[in-house]
A and B are shown apart, each in its own frame.
Chain A
Amino acid sequence: MPVRVLENAAPSQVSGANSGQSSFQYCSLLGVGQAFSGTQNVSSQQKDEAWRVNVCIQGCDLEHGYLCGTMEALNVPMADTPVVTFWEGEIVDTKNYTFFTGKWEATPEDDIRHWTKFPSFSPLLAQVEVDGGKTLDLSNYPYIFMRWKEQYFVNVGTDCGLTIAGFYYVCFSCSDGSISGFYYDPNSSPFQKLELKSTNNDRSGFSFSSYELQ
Chain B
Amino acid sequence: MPTPSAANLPSDHILDRLSSSDSEIKLKAVREVKNQIIGNRTKKLSYIKLGAVPAVAAVLADSDSTPNLIVQSVAALGSFACGVDAGVSAVLDAGAFPHLIRLLSSSDKKVVDSAARSLRMIYQSKVAPKYDFFKQEDMQFLLSLLDSENENLTLLGVGIVIHSCETSAEQNILCYAGALEKLTSLLGGSLSQRDGSLDSLPAIIKNNPEAVCKFGGLHCGRVLSSVIQLTKDRYPRTRLLACLLLICVMNSSSSHLQATGFKKKLIHVLLELLDDSGPVGDEASFAFSSLIAKKKDLQKLAFDANAIDKFHSLLQKRPLQPKRLEGMFLALADLCSKLECCRSSFLSLQVLNIVVEALTHDDASVRTAACICLISVSRSVKNLSAGCFMNERIVFPLVRLLSDLSTSVQVAALAAISNIVVDFLPHKSTFMHCGGIKELVRLSKAMDSSLRLNAVRALRNMLFLTDKMCKEVLFVELTASSMASLICDPEPSVQEQALALVRNFVDGCVYSVEYAFAEDGVILNAVGRELRKYSKVEIGIQGLYVLSNIASGNEFHKEAVMQLLFPQAESGSQSFFNQFLQSNDNQLRAAAIWVITNLTFPGSPGAFGRIVNLRSLGIVSQIKKMFNDPCMDVKLRARIAIEQINTFGDG
Name A's B-contacting residues (CB within 8 A): 16, 19, 25-28, 32-33, 56, 58-59, 68, 70, 86, 88, 139-142, 151-152, 154, 174-176, 200-214
Q: List 23 A-B contacts (CB under 8 A).
A: A28-B633, A33-B465, A33-B507, A56-B465, A68-B385, A140-B632, A154-B385, A174-B632, A175-B640, A200-B552, A201-B510, A203-B552, A203-B553, A204-B598, A204-B601, A205-B597, A206-B552, A207-B508, A209-B507, A212-B418, A212-B497, A213-B418, A214-B379
Contact call A207/B633, Cβ cutoff below 8 A:
no
Instruction: Name B350-386 residues within 8 Å CB distance of A.
Output: 375, 378-379, 381-382, 385-386
Once bound together, how far apart are the Cα atoms of A56 and B464, in whole Å?
12
Instruction: Name B526-578 residues within 8 Å CB distance of A.
Output: 545, 548-549, 551-554, 558
Once bound together, how far apart are the Cα atoms of A200 and B637, in whole Å?
16
B590 within 8 A of A: yes
Contact call A28/B601, Cβ cutoff below 8 A:
no
Instruction: Name B235-271 residues within 8 Å CB distance of A.
Output: none
CB distance from A52 to the nearest CB of B (A): 19
Instruction: Name the residue on A nearest B511 (C-beta).
Output: A202
B424, B509, B591, B604, most chain A CB atoms within 10 A = B424
Is chain B's interface secondary structure helix, strand, loop, or mixed overall? Answer: helix
B591, B601, B631, B636, most chain A CB atoms within 10 A = B636
Contact call B604/A202, Cβ cutoff below 8 A:
no
Interface residues on B, range: 35 or more
Chain A-chain B contacts (Cβ-Cβ < 8 Å), number? 134
Q: A28 to chain B: which residues have CB within 8 Å?
A: 587, 590-591, 594, 633, 637
B651 within 8 A of A: no
A208-B503, A213-B422 given as contacts; is B553 within 8 A of A152 (CB)? no
B394 within 8 A of A: no
Contact call B424/A58, Cβ cutoff below 8 A:
yes
A140-B632, A214-B375 given as contacts; is B637 within 8 A of A88 (CB)? no
Contact call A86/B549, Cβ cutoff below 8 A:
no
Q: B457 to chain A: which residues have CB within 8 Å?
A: 212, 214
B603 within 8 A of A: yes
A27-B633, A176-B640, A211-B460 given as contacts; is B507 within 8 A of A205 (CB)? no
B518 within 8 A of A: no
Once bound together, how far apart are the Cα atoms of A201 and B633, in whole Å?
22
Contact call A210/B464, Cβ cutoff below 8 A:
yes
Contact call B601/A205, Cβ cutoff below 8 A:
yes
Once bound together, how far apart are the Cα atoms of A57 and B591, in whole Å?
19
Once bound together, how far apart are the Cα atoms of A208 and B502, in whole Å?
11
Contact call A204/B640, Cβ cutoff below 8 A:
no
Is chain A's interface secondary structure helix, strand, loop, or mixed overall? Answer: loop
Once bound together, how far apart are the Cα atoms of A200 and B457, in whole Å?
25
A175-B640, A214-B415 given as contacts; is B632 within 8 A of A204 (CB)? no
A68-B381, A206-B597 given as contacts; is B464 within 8 A of A211 (CB)? yes
Once bound together, how far apart are the Cα atoms of A202 and B508, in whole Å?
9
**13 extra interchain contacts, Cβ-Cβ under 8 A, other than A68-B385, A140-B632, A212-B497?**
A25-B633, A26-B633, A28-B587, A68-B381, A68-B382, A139-B632, A152-B386, A201-B508, A204-B604, A207-B549, A209-B464, A209-B504, A210-B503
B516 within 8 A of A: no
B450 within 8 A of A: no
Q: B460 to chain A: which residues have CB within 8 Å?
A: 210-212
Instruction: Name the residue on B nearest A68 (C-beta).
Output: B381
B500 within 8 A of A: yes
Instruction: Name the residue on A nearest B599 (C-beta).
Output: A205
Other-chain residue from B296, B415, B598 in contact with A205 (beta carbon distance below 8 A): B598
Once bound together, how far apart are the Cα atoms of A58 and B383, in whole Å?
12
In the A-B complex, the 8 residue pairs with the closest CB atoms = A205-B552, A205-B598, A59-B381, A209-B507, A211-B464, A203-B552, A205-B601, A214-B415
Once bound together, how far apart are the Cα atoms of A28 and B375, in whole Å?
27
Question: C-beta contact mask, B47-61 vs A, less than 8 Å → 1, else 0?
Answer: 000000000000000
CB distance from B564 to the nearest CB of A (A): 16
Contact call A202/B382, Cβ cutoff below 8 A:
no
B419, B552, B590, B631, most chain A CB atoms within 10 A = B552
CB distance from A123 to the nearest CB of B (A): 16
Other-chain residue from B422, B587, B590 in contact with A211 (beta carbon distance below 8 A): B422
CB distance from A197 to the nearest CB of B (A): 14
Instruction: Name the residue on B nearest A144 (C-beta).
Output: B632
CB distance from B412 to the nearest CB of A (A): 10
A140-B632, A204-B558, A214-B379 given as contacts; is B424 within 8 A of A209 (CB)? no
CB distance from B49 to the nearest CB of A (A): 44
B586 within 8 A of A: yes
CB distance from A202 to the nearest CB of B (A): 5
Q: A27 to chain B: which residues have CB within 8 Å?
A: 632-633, 636
CB distance from A172 to the nearest CB of B (A): 12
Instruction: Name the residue on B nearest A59 (C-beta).
Output: B381
Contact call B508/A211, Cβ cutoff below 8 A:
no
Once bound together, how far apart are the Cα atoms of A214 and B509, in whole Å?
27
Instruction: Name B584-640 residues within 8 Å CB distance of A.
Output: 586-587, 590-591, 594, 597-598, 601, 603-604, 631-633, 636-637, 639-640
Contact call A174/B633, Cβ cutoff below 8 A:
yes
Question: C-beta contact mask, B441-484 vs A, less than 8 Å → 1, else 0?
Answer: 00000000000001001001101110000000000000000000
Contact call B552/A207, Cβ cutoff below 8 A:
yes
Contact call A202/B375, Cβ cutoff below 8 A:
no
Once bound together, how far apart are the Cα atoms of A145 and B596, in whole Å?
28
Once bound together, how far apart are the Cα atoms of A161 and B644, in whole Å?
46
B25 within 8 A of A: no
Q: B424 to chain A: which residues have CB within 8 Å?
A: 56, 58, 70
A58-B424, A142-B632, A174-B636 given as contacts; is B379 within 8 A of A209 (CB)? no
CB distance from A199 to the nearest CB of B (A): 12
Once bound together, how far apart are the Cα atoms of A176 and B637, in whole Å?
9
A59, A86, A211, most chain B CB atoms within 10 A = A211
B191 within 8 A of A: no
